[in-house]
C-alpha cells in the first residue's frame, strides 16, 4: 500500500459537549456543520481519553508514553526546562525516518529552548506558538513588565536552522493565528502533493483556549458571544482543511483526524461543557478525560461509525507510527497500543480495556471497561479532598456524573484494576521515569 498522508488536527480545550455531533452545536450557540458532516464520513469515538492539561497530552501524543514517564507534567514559565528531553523519540521523528514530509503549525508546548522546538524534534518546518495562548494577554495586563517576564512571540523554524521570532503574540494576533495556521497547512499539503511525497501534517489549533477570541470576520457571527463565535470559526477552519484535501484529490489516501487535547475550559466568560460528563480539564473526572475524536479515511474507515470503546491519546503515536511503517521503540516502555484493526479494519473492539491517569506526580484515577476508580477526589478544579482513605468506584454507564460510590458492593473490580497499577509500577522499576525539568542528554 502507498504510504498514506496523515493530517492530525487537535483543538485546544474543546469539551466533549461542544460540537453538534456530540450533542452541542446549536445548543451551545454555534452550529458546527462542517465538523458534523466530517463525522458522518468516518468514525466518531465517544470514549477517547486524554491527559489533564496541555503539556501532558501533547507529550503523550508525541511519544506514546504516559507523561509521568517523560517528566512532562505541566507547563512552566518561559525559558525553563519543560516538555520533552531530547532523549524522547517523537512521532514526527519516526515518520520523518520513513520518508514523510513533516510540518507543525500551531501550539507546541513541549519545549521553548534551542534543541526542543518542533524543527529540532522531527518536523521539517513549523510556525506557531512555543508555549500557550494565555500569554497573548500579557501585553494587555495591568502592571506587565517585559523586563522580568518575556514577551510572547509567534515563531517559525526549519530543520537544521535556529527558530526565530516572527511577531508579537498579543490579543490581536490571537484572533488571526488560526487563519494563518490553516493557510500554511493547506500550502504545505499542496506543495508535497506536487512533489509526490507522503506527508504528516500536525495542526494543533489555538481555539478554544482562553482568551477565546474569534477572528474579526467571525466576531458577532452567532450573536452568542466570543466563545460561540470562536467555535463557529473553528468549524470553518476545519472545513477549510477538509476542502483542501478534497481539492487536491487525495482523500482516499489521507487519514484525517480531528480531536481535542483536553476537556473544556472552566474560566468565565469562556466556560465550556463536557456534555453528560462531570468536570473540566485539570481534574480526573470524565469531563477532563473524554474529548472528541473523529477520523476519516475513505475505503478504510466505514462512514457513520460511532463507538464507546476506550482509546487513549498514547494510542495515536503507536497507531500512526505503525501505519507509516515505523518500528516502535523497544528501549523504553511505550504505553500506546496499535488501534489499526479497530480504526481501519472496523473491528468492534478496541485494543485496550483501560489506562492509568496521573496529574503531576500523583496517580489520581484509573479506568477499566465501564469502571472508574478514584484515589483522589477533585470533582471541580481546586475543590478537592485530597487523597481518599478508601477509593471511590463508579460505573460510568450507570452513573456518568460520577455521583455514587459503589466500591463496597463491587470490590471484585479491584482485582483487575489494581493489577493494572502493579504492572505500571513494575515497569517504572525497570525503566525509571524521567524527572521533571531534566536536562537534555549530551
The SS3 assignment for 265 reads: coil
Does one domain contain both 327 and 419?
no
Give the pairing of strands 5-11 and 254-260. parallel
List the CATH number of the domain containing 363.
3.30.1120.10
Per the structure, the count of domains in the chain is 2
Does one domain contain both 126 and 224?
yes
Q: What are phi and psi of 153, to 5 degrees?
A: -130, 150
Does one domain contain both 409 and 341?
no
| Cβ neighbours for 317, distance < 8 A, ≥ 6 positions apart | 60, 61, 62, 63, 64, 91, 334, 336
Q: Which of 341, 324, 431 has the alpha carbon at shortest distance from 91?
A: 324
Q: Is the distance from CB of 213 to CB of 231 less than 8 angstroms?
A: no
Tell whether 256 is covered by a domain: yes
pLDDT at res. 329: 96
pLDDT at res. 102: 98
Tell whether 68 is covered by a domain: yes
Assess whether 259 carries a catalytic annotation. Answer: no
Residues paired with residue 293 on neighbouring β-strands, in sequence order: 45, 259
Domain termination residue (choose one: 336, 353, 370): 353
* pTM for the predicted model, two decimal places: 0.97
Does one domain contain both 360 and 320?
no
Does one domain contain both 403 and 335?
no
Domain termination residue (choose one: 333, 353, 373): 353
One of 21, 54, 66, 282 is an active-site residue; which one? 54
Does one domain contain both 207 and 171?
yes
**pLDDT tens by residue, the chain, 442 residues:** 589 999 999 999 999 999 999 999 999 999 999 999 999 999 999 999 999 999 999 999 999 999 999 999 877 777 777 889 999 999 999 999 999 999 999 999 999 999 999 999 999 999 999 999 999 999 999 999 999 988 999 999 999 999 999 999 999 999 999 999 999 999 999 999 999 999 999 999 999 999 999 999 999 999 999 999 999 999 999 999 999 999 999 999 999 999 999 999 998 999 999 999 999 999 999 999 999 999 999 999 999 999 999 999 999 999 999 999 999 999 999 999 999 999 999 899 999 999 999 999 999 999 999 999 999 999 998 888 889 999 999 999 999 999 999 999 999 999 999 999 999 999 999 999 999 888 898 8
Q: Is the distance from CB of 30 to CB of 222 less than 8 angstroms?
A: yes
Number of H helices, E strands in the chain: 10, 15
Q: Is the distance from CB of 339 to CB of 49 less than 8 angstroms?
A: no
Does one domain contain both 236 and 295?
yes
pLDDT at res. 1: 58
DSSP string, 23-81: T-GGGGT---HHHHHHHHTSEEEEEEE--SSHHHHHHHHHHSS-HHHHT--S---TTSS
Does one domain contain both 386 and 252?
no
Does one domain contain both 360 and 314?
no
* Helix (H) or strand (E) run with residue 11 in it: strand 5-11
Tell whether 285 is covered by a domain: yes
Tell whether 142 is covered by a domain: no
DSSP state of 433: P
Tell whether 141 is covered by a domain: no
Does one domain contain both 109 and 226?
yes
Tell whether 146 is covered by a domain: no
pLDDT at res. 385: 84
Tell whether 437 is covered by a domain: no
Does one domain contain both 261 and 391?
no
Q: Which residue range is the domain that position 398 belongs to?
A: 355-430
Does one domain contain both 391 and 268?
no
Largest alpha-carbon pair distance within the chain? 62
pLDDT at res. 396: 98
User: Helices 226-247 and 33-40, interaxial angle, to 10°?
Assistant: 50
Tell whether 436 is covered by a domain: no
Q: Is the distance from CB of 184 to CB of 105 less than 8 angstroms?
A: yes
List the CATH number of the domain containing 300.
3.40.720.10
One of 109, 215, 236, 312 is an active-site residue; which one? 109
The SS3 assignment for 241 reads: helix
Assess whether 54 carries a catalytic annotation. Answer: yes
Domain termination residue (choose one: 337, 353, 369): 353
Amino acid at each position: 500500500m502507498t504510504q498514506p498522508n496523515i493530517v492530525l488536527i487537535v483543538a485546544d480545550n474543546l469539551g466533549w459537549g461542544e460540537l453538534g455531533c456530540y450533542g452541542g452545536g446549536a445548543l451551545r450557540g454555534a452550529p458546527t456543520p462542517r465538523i458534523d458532516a466530517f463525522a458522518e464520513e468516518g468514525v466518531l469515538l465517544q470514549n477517547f481519553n486524554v491527559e489533564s492539561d496541555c503539556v501532558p497530552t501533547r507529550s503523550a501524543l508525541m511519544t506514546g508514553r504516559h507523561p509521568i514517564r517523560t517528566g512532562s507534567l505541566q507547563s512552566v514559565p518561559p525559558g525553563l526546562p519543560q516538555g520533552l528531553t531530547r532523549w524522547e523519540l517523537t512521532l514526527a521523528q519516526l515518520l520523518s525516518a520513513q520518508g514523510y514530509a513533516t510540518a507543525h503549525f500551531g501550539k507546541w508546548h513541549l519545549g521553548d529552548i534551542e534543541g526542543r522546538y518542533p524543527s529540532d524534534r522531527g518536523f521539517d518546518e513549523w510556525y506557531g506558538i512555543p508555549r500557550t495562548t494565555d500569554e497573548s494577554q500579557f501585553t494587555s495586563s495591568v502592571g506587565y513588565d517585559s523586563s522580568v517576564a518575556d514577551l510572547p512571540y509567534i515563531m517559525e523554524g526549519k530543520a537544521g536552522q535556529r527558530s526565530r521570532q516572527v511577531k508579537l503574540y498579543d490579543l490581536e494576533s490571537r484572533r488571526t493565528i488560526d487563519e494563518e495556521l490553516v493557510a500554511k497547512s493547506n500550502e504545505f499539503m499542496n506543495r508535497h502533493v506536487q512533489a509526490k511525497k507522503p506527508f504528516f501534517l500536525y495542526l494543533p489549533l489555538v481555539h478554544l483556549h482562553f482568551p477565546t477570541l474569534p477572528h474579526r470576520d467571525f466576531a458577532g457571527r452567532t450573536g452568542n458571544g466570543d466563545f460561540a463565535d470562536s467555535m463557529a470559526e473553528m468549524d470553518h477552519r476545519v472545513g477549510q482543511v477538509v476542502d483542501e484535501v478534497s481539492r487536491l484529490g487525495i482523500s482516499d489516501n489521507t487519514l484525517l483526524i480531528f480531536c481535542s487535547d483536553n476537556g473544556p475550559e472552566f474560566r468565565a466568560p469562556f466556560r465550556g461543557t463536557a456534555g453528560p460528563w462531570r468536570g473540566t480539564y485539570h481534574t480526573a473526572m470524565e469531563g477532563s478525560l473524554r474529548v472528541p475524536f473523529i477520523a476519516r479515511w475513505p475505503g478504510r474507515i466505514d462512514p457513520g461509525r460511532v463507538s464507546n470503546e476506550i482509546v487513549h491519546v498514547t494510542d495515536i503515536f503507536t497507531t500512526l507510527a505503525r501505519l507509516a511503517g515505523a518500528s516502535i521503540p523497544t528501549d523504553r516502555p511505550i504505553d500506546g497500543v496499535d488501534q489499526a484493526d479497530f480504526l481501519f479494519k472496523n473491528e468492534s473492539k478496541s485494543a485496550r480495556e483501560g489506562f492509568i491517569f496521573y496529574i503531576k506526580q500523583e496517580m489520581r484515577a484509573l479506568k477499566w471497561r465501564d469502571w472508574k476508580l478514584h484515589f483522589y477526589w477533585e470533582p471541580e478544579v481546586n475543590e478537592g479532598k485530597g487523597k481518599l482513605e478508601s477509593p471511590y468506584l463508579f460505573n460510568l454507564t450507570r452513573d456518568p456524573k460520577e455521583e455514587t460510590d459503589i466500591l463496597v458492593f463491587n470490590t471484585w473490580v479491584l482485582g483487575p484494576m489494581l493489577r493494572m497499577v502493579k504492572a505500571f509500577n513494575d515497569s517504572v522499576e525497570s525503566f525509571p521515569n524521567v524527572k521533571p525539568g531534566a536536562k537534555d542528554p549530551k
